[in-house]
Structure 1
Amino acid sequence: MPDDTFDLIVVGGGAIGLSTARNAARRGWRTLVLEKFGVLNNEGSSAGASRQFRLQYAQHYMAELSLASQNFWAELQGYSQNTLVRQNGSLWFGDPDLDSQEGGIAAAEKVMESLHIPFTRLTAPQIEARFPFKALPKDYEGFFQANGGIIDLKSTEEAALNAALATGRVVIREWEPATDISESGRGVEVRTVHGRYHGARLAICAGAYVNETLKPLGLSLGIDIWQMSSAYFALTEPARHLPTWFVFQDPGDSALFYGFPEVDWAHPGYARVATDFPDKILTDPAQRSYAPSTKSLGLDAQWVREHMTGLDPMPRFTSTCLIALAQNSSRELLLDYTPAWGRAHSNIVTYTAGWAGKYIPIMGDMIVRMLSAPETELVYGDYRIPLDRFSIDWTQTN
């Protein structure tokens, strides 16, 4: 095979792109990854050190996908000496009647019951007795699910990179953004500032940069790009058991927050607490500011001061990240075949949007399965994942 010809070209070398390349190479496909920046960068959804892993979802199929992902996480663990998912549990609490981008407490409980996922219901006093929270409204309720935990994101990316390179079939080009995509007799031609490459298949895994990548195809999709702030807070006393957590409360009153326990891979002696709302909503990743919002950090510090014990409420190690979210609120993730050049193509798949850190190992497999043969659902043991739940509302731009 010529040096410029591949079985698969992946545009985007973040966590999902690397997972896709690894899964393709395992099938014997010679794979090229084109990355706009360097691999393991902090320019998009892979920014930061940690992500939450959870089984609970308000949607049955999303919880099934989380359950199915566990075997893929266990397999990827073999490529890292660090623990990729630390199982310290997941706590959801707050107003049980409220929903958010994360789902809702009551709806998630119904899904867990139907899938026989164990969990423990808790009242506000019980939450305060077991975990380092205080002064919660007395009508707050929640649950603890023991299989949830915290993802070491950078170790996961490194494991996906190591696994891809170990196949001997993956070529990675850093600092080489795709500038043009066109149809060719060999499938798809992708041009960059350094050359042109031919692929039988194409996977677009560009995250917040997806519409920039799709421009040559005359396509765009509806996403909002959230710039979000987070901070770490110093432990002031020996840490009580703190799981990953999310609080559901009226955003008109005090906004939404989520957090992580202390970990050894990011600022030991500190716990991370983040806001679950955007500093601002962008239309282009180039609009990003690396400085967190003063207002967001102030609300973050206020939550810690009023409702957490054992933490100094002064924000430290502050940062921002970009998260692409579907404008269509019925779509948790966007994953679809790409209707390029006026017709549908089973050899081009686009993925973007959603809180997908927990799906890194299985998402690459999903994309490769779709590129192997036309699919309407993906079967993982007892779980059937309908792809129409992730379909994209495409817009023609020319």
Structure 2
Amino acid sequence: MTKNSFDIIIIGGGAIGLSAAYHAGKRGLRTLVLEKNGVLNDAGSSAGASRQFRLQYAQQYMAELSLASQEYWAELQAYSQKPLIQQNGSLWFGDPDLNSQEGGISAAETVMDELSIPYTKLDSARIEADFPFTGLPKDYEGFFQASGGIINLKATEEAAFDAALATGNVEIHEFEPSLDIQESANGVMVRTEVGEYSAAKLAICAGAYVNDALKPLELSLEIDIWQMSSAYFAKSYPNVKLPTWFVFQNPGDSALFYGFPEVDWAHPGYIRVATDFPDAILSDPSQRSYIPSRKSLALDSKWVAEHMVGLDPAPRFTATCLIALAKQKDRELLLDYTPAWGGKHSNIVTYSAGWAGKYIPILGNMIVRMLENPAETLEYGNFSIPLKHFAIEWSTTPKT
């Protein structure tokens, strides 16, 4: 094997790409990660400090994937002295029959019952008694699931980075975007401004930039790129304690909101609240603005003033992030073999799109297992995860 020859090349050095690199490296596979920016950047879907972890889902296979991921979170935790998940619990409340991008309360309860995931049902009065919310409509219902929590996203990326390098089989090249992908005698060849690299296998984990990476293959994904805003709000009462939470409301009346507890890794003394809808839907990540929507921040502030106890409603530490979501409404994640050069090409796997923070450690494992042995289903303990749930409807894009 030459210096520029690898077993696996990974395009994209965000959280998922680094996780895949770790799982490849620990299998003894010589692995190259190509990242167009620096690792641990805020340019794409890995922006921000935190993500929510939860077990509840409206789709049983997604809840099973969350359950299966816990083993892989524990494995990754060994590479960090910081807790990767702070277990504060997960609170869902609002209209029990309303569905959104996050699923729905009644549907999630049905799945939790099927999988024996414990939770506590709550009415509006109990929610206000147990948590710092006020003025909720009397017909709101919800539940509290104690295993949910908040992910330290940057610590997770750092752990995946360190874990990958610790295998001794992984090279990470920053500020080296891929420019071309071609077939080679070994499988695939990836060209950058620095050189050409060959490998038997290729994983494309480029997040919101996935269609840039796919251009040489004359392929694209049908995705929407959401630009979203969030803000932090100062605690006016020192004893305010929150779980992670999500409120399901009719968007015609008021926005959907979600939030996080106070954490020491992101603005101690402040609590993050965000709207769960896009400021704008972009066709290309280059269209991103780093200036949050005034409308979103005003809605955040109004919600905090009317329904949260112990917070100053003035938004602080505002930010935007990019989230790639599938246009296919029945796809929570997109993960599939890539039909390059007129064939299925099971030696190339593409991942993109979805609220995937909670799956960072297991998605890397899934990608590598798919490349090792072509599969239609992946087994995790007692769970069988059919890959058809993540299948991509590919579009062809002429090379320019």
CA-to-partner distance for each residue in 1:280-314, whole Å, 9 max, x for gaps?
00000000000101111011111101100000000
Give the drift of 1:252. Answer: 1.1
- What is the CA–CA distance in structure 2 between the aligned matches of 1:231 and 1:6, rounded to whole Å? 43
Letter in 2 for 1:383: F
Q: Report the equivalent of 1:28.
A: 28
1:2 has 2:2 as partner: yes
Q: Report the equivalent of 2:217.
A: 217
Q: Report the equivalent of 2:386.
A: 386
- What is the CA–CA distance in structure 1 between the aligned matches of 2:2 and 2:103, rounded to whole Å? 48
Give the drift of 1:193. Answer: 1.3
Q: Report the equivalent of 2:194.
A: 194
Contact 2:338-2:348 at 8 Å conserved across structures: yes
- What is the CA–CA distance in structure 1 between the aligned matches of 2:346 and 2:332, rounded to whole Å? 22
Alignment of 1:63-82 (within 5 A): 63-82=63-82
1:131 has 2:168 as partner: no
1:75 counterpart SS class: helix
- What is the CA–CA distance in structure 2 between the aligned matches of 1:164 and 1:381, rounded to whole Å? 24
- What is the CA–CA distance in structure 2 between the aligned matches of 1:201 and 1:339, rounded to whole Å? 14
Letter in 1 for 2:121: R
Alignment of 1:205-244 (within 5 A): 205-244=205-244
Q: Report the equivalent of 1:270.
A: 270
Listed as ranges, the gaps of 5+ residues in structure 1 are none
Give the drift of 1:171. Answer: 0.3
- What is the CA–CA distance in structure 2 between the aligned matches of 1:36 and 1:228, rounded to whole Å? 22
Contact 2:241-2:262 at 8 Å conserved across structures: no
Give the drift of 1:239. Answer: 2.7
Q: Report the equivalent of 2:50.
A: 50
1:181 counterpart SS class: strand
Give the drift of 1:87. Answer: 0.7
- What is the CA–CA distance in structure 2 between the aligned matches of 1:239 and 1:315, rounded to whole Å? 20
- What is the CA–CA distance in structure 1 between the aligned matches of 2:202 and 2:239, rounded to whole Å? 47
1:290 counterpart SS class: coil
Structure 1 runs (4+) deviating above 3 angstroms are none
- What is the CA–CA distance in structure 2 between the aligned matches of 1:284 and 1:253, rounded to whole Å? 30
- What is the CA–CA distance in structure 2 between the aligned matches of 1:287 and 1:172, rounded to whole Å? 27
- What is the CA–CA distance in structure 1 between the aligned matches of 2:239 and 2:336, rounded to whole Å? 44
Q: Report the equivalent of 1:256.
A: 256
Letter in 2 for 1:227: Q
Give the drift of 1:253. Answer: 1.0
- What is the CA–CA distance in structure 2 between the aligned matches of 1:31 and 1:59, rounded to whole Å? 34
Give the drift of 1:240. Answer: 3.2
RMSD: 0.5
- What is the CA–CA distance in structure 2 between the aligned matches of 1:3 and 1:299, rounded to whole Å? 54
Alignment of 1:8-157 (within 5 A): 8-157=8-157
Letter in 1 for 2:189: E
1:247 counterpart SS class: strand
- What is the CA–CA distance in structure 2 between the aligned matches of 1:52 and 1:172, rounded to whole Å? 27
- What is the CA–CA distance in structure 1 between the aligned matches of 2:240 and 2:116, rounded to whole Å? 29
Letter in 2 for 1:144: F
CA-to-partner distance for each residue in 1:331-351, whole Å, 9 max, x for gaps?
000000000001101110000
Letter in 1 for 2:111: V
1:177 has 2:177 as partner: yes
Give the drift of 1:396. Answer: 1.3
2:310 counterpart SS class: coil
Contact 2:12-2:206 at 8 Å conserved across structures: yes
Q: Report the equivalent of 1:288.
A: 288
Q: Number of aligned residue pairs: give it.
A: 398
Q: Report the equivalent of 1:312.
A: 312
CA-to-partner distance for each residue in 1:124-168, whole Å, 9 max, x for gaps?
110000000000000000000000000000000000000000011
Letter in 2 for 1:311: L
Letter in 2 for 1:88: N
Instruction: Please give the TM-score of this superposition, normalised by the length of structure 1.
Output: 0.99
Listed as ranges, the gaps of 5+ residues in structure 2 are none
